[in-house]
Amino acid sequence: LDYPDKTACILWFAGCNMRCLYCYNPEIVLGKGKIEFEKVLQFLQKRKGLLDAVVFSGGECTIHKQIIPYIQAIKKAGFLVKVDTNGSNPAFIQKAIEASLLDYVAVDFKAPFSKFETITKSEFHSEFSQTLQILIQSNIPFEIRTTVHSELLNEEDLMEMCHYLHQHGYKKTLYIQQFINHTKTLSPLPYSKNQLSADRFQNFPIPVVLRN
């Protein structure tokens, strides 16, 4: 499910430079890693021929100090690499593309910039824009995705975000993940009404697909 058309395992990297209110992974964002990288490589050696790819996720994997050598080691072992990122680290994306380390990237577009800080408790909207431009100008397959909680983002916000993407050269799909209720989150949130349906996005400037 995490890498289009590939079988993959996921490495969840502890720590994050955002504090999104709706974050499903408080243990990962606030916790510490539990597995040594050598063990990951040993695991992957046994999965050769069964797994196509490894997904680097988190948390925010791109801020891990060893991310580049880790990806190099996994690519050397013969696996494709996908990176899930919140878009806050364009320098890493640039460097990794130049070193041919990325096979697929999924970038979160958290919110329209007027709400970005409130929802993510961070100020990385300009870094997100830079990441978007780097990926558009590369030939790396990538996708943009947004998690929607009805109390945080509404249809107007999504329209604004789609206009932004379209105006900045992204003509592909925005994937929407509707917030899953009754999940532990970084901040207590009210019930999300999840009222979105595909027919509401027909007049949007780029295609919008609901994933759940």
The alpha carbon torsion through 142, 184, 181, 24 (nearest 10 deg) reads 0
Counting contacts by CB under 6 A, is residue 119 touching ligand SF4?
no
Counting contacts by CB under 6 A, is residue 67 touching ligand SF4?
no
| Binding region for ligand SF4 (CB under 6 A) out of 56-64, 66-74, 97-105, 193-201 | 56-64
Q: Can you tell me which of 8, 11, 20, 107 binds ligand SF4, judged by CB under 6 A?
A: 20
Q: Can you tell me which of 14, 16, 102, 105 binds ligand SF4, judged by CB under 6 A?
A: 16
Token output for 148: 């929607």
CB-nearer residue toward ligand SF4: 7 or 183:
183
CB-nearer residue toward ligand SF4: 58 or 112:
58
Token output for 110: 């958290």
Q: Can you tell me which of 6, 9, 10, 19 binds ligand SF4, judged by CB under 6 A?
A: 19
Residue 183 near residue 24, CB atoms below 8 Å: yes
Counting contacts by CB under 6 A, is residue 23 touching ligand SF4?
yes
Q: Print burial letters for 111-121: b (CB count within 10 Å at least 16), e (below 16).
A: bbeebbeebbe
Token output for 199: 């027919």
